[in-house]
Structure 1
């Protein structure tokens, strides 16, 4: 029996490795495909900081940064995974939030309140084409000027791989991991197109957050578990909880 990871590449392999270390069999079906967007900052803004809500934004711009002065700016990362990508890209000062955009917003506001960040200087937001939250608008309401630059897009996969559909039919999959609302929606559409929607939704769906879990519940899934916090360790704990009844049944 296997756990299906729907996370985009290359992060899906890191997740698979961590799950295998826990003794689990893993199948992968990335539901979103990463595409970099050429990064061009045509403004003459003297930025005071950078905010990033996804490691993909940094993967997209890293080859174009070179010796850019942006690397000298403080960078606010949504969580540890994104922070690691920032350091790998060459940023020296990386401040880490607790895993979601709300925490990142509060971290920026806290730094401004303590005079460690000046509101007068614009903030550069390296972002994806599709945003789940208007972080720039929320900071704008607090007096910041935020310049948003789209650096990447995530393209939904139209279908599940044939071997994954076959695994659903053969009851080889015991749970599915979901990392975003968009990838969850793409999974549902691909499962429907592959004729395995009923089989897929009958299984435990383990989600990185309550908002992602809502997508699965709205689609009719009844075994939906959300992580206690928006990080992978909490997601793995949710997976363990979801699998417990099945593990007891197999004893």
Structure 2
């Protein structure tokens, strides 16, 4: 069984390995492309930094500012970002192991515990160009002074790879996995441009959340299934439930 993975690199490689371990063949057509954005180090003294994506780490890793940042308390949204930060050289990484709300709570709790300044702590948020939540605003409401630097963007890829377009046209794909609203929207647009929209949207679309699923439903997808929890294991479990074992 061939499954299309639309998430960007390098995360798509991890998904491909997980699929292979479960007996699937993965086709990769990343619908977003990482682009680092130049930013000027402001030289300000910070009490901590915030990272909500491993992509922010990728954008920082060769930047001159790294030398003065690596020892600061580094708050990350989850373990994947935390691991990327540790590999890049950050020495004091604290993971929220959750979402943006959990990250907000972690930073507040850390200040209450006296591990960073309780009032007026200066935080630097290294962010992507597209942000689903105003984390800076949330933290400012708690008395933090947050400086946001936009250090990367994920640009939409306008078309599918030739291999994937041919596979859709020949019925060589059995399901599609979706991990974000932006990748889902880019997938729909690319399928339309490549002339394979009907065959692509007729397949099972396994989505990490209801918000992602809404994009596919609005586009007219016939089979949209949502994972029970917003994580990769649940997405693949959804795939297992959707694809009949006898056909695998």
Shorter-chain TM-score above 0.5:
yes
In structure 2, the CA distance between the partners of 1:40 and 1:15, relative to structure 1 (3 Å rule), is: same
Question: What TM-score does the superposition give when structure 2 sets the normalisation length?
Answer: 0.92
Question: What TM-score does the superposition give when structure 1 sets the normalisation length?
Answer: 0.91
CA contact (8 A) 2:51 2:76 kept: yes
Correspondences of 1:14-25 after superposition (within 5 Å): 14-25=14-25
Residue 64 (structure 1) aligned with residue 58 (structure 2)? no
SS in 2 for 1:237: helix
Provide the residue aligned with 1:129 in structure 2: 129
Provide the residue aligned with 1:3 in structure 2: 3
Partners of 1:229 and 1:62 lie apart in 2 by 31
Partners of 2:74 and 2:238 lie apart in 1 by 30
With 83-92 and 5-14 compared, the bigger mean Cα shift is at 5-14
In structure 2, the CA distance between the partners of 1:80 and 1:113, relative to structure 1 (3 Å rule), is: same
Provide the residue aligned with 2:200 in structure 1: 200
Partners of 1:80 and 1:226 lie apart in 2 by 23
Unmatched 5+ residue regions in structure 1? none
Provide the residue aligned with 1:55 in structure 2: 54
Provide the residue aligned with 1:117 in structure 2: 116
Partners of 2:227 and 2:97 lie apart in 1 by 14
Provide the residue aligned with 2:80 in structure 1: 81
SS in 2 for 1:133: coil
CA shift at 1:43, angstroms? 4.8
Provide the residue aligned with 2:245 in structure 1: 247
Partners of 1:168 and 1:30 lie apart in 2 by 15
With 221-230 and 50-59 compared, the bigger mean Cα shift is at 221-230
Deviations 1:54-101 (A, max 9, x none): 101101110115762210111111111111110011011111123322
Partners of 1:238 and 1:48 lie apart in 2 by 42
In structure 2, the CA distance between the partners of 1:198 and 1:103, relative to structure 1 (3 Å rule), is: farther
Partners of 2:120 and 2:71 lie apart in 1 by 18
Provide the residue aligned with 2:217 in structure 1: 217
Residue 90 (structure 1) aligned with residue 84 (structure 2)? no
Partners of 2:90 and 2:82 lie apart in 1 by 9
Unmatched 5+ residue regions in structure 2? none
SS in 2 for 1:4: strand
In structure 2, the CA distance between the partners of 1:224 and 1:99, relative to structure 1 (3 Å rule), is: farther
Provide the residue aligned with 2:227 in structure 1: 227
Partners of 2:131 and 2:31 lie apart in 1 by 17
CA contact (8 A) 1:127 1:150 kept: yes
How many pairs align?
247
CA contact (8 A) 2:159 2:190 kept: yes
Provide the residue aligned with 1:105 in structure 2: 104
Partners of 1:38 and 1:69 lie apart in 2 by 18
Deviations 1:105-142 (A, max 9, x none): 22222323333332422111111111122111122222
Provide the residue aligned with 2:35 in structure 1: 35
State the superposition RMSD in angstroms.
1.9
Deviations 1:154-186 (A, max 9, x none): 111111112211111222111111122111111
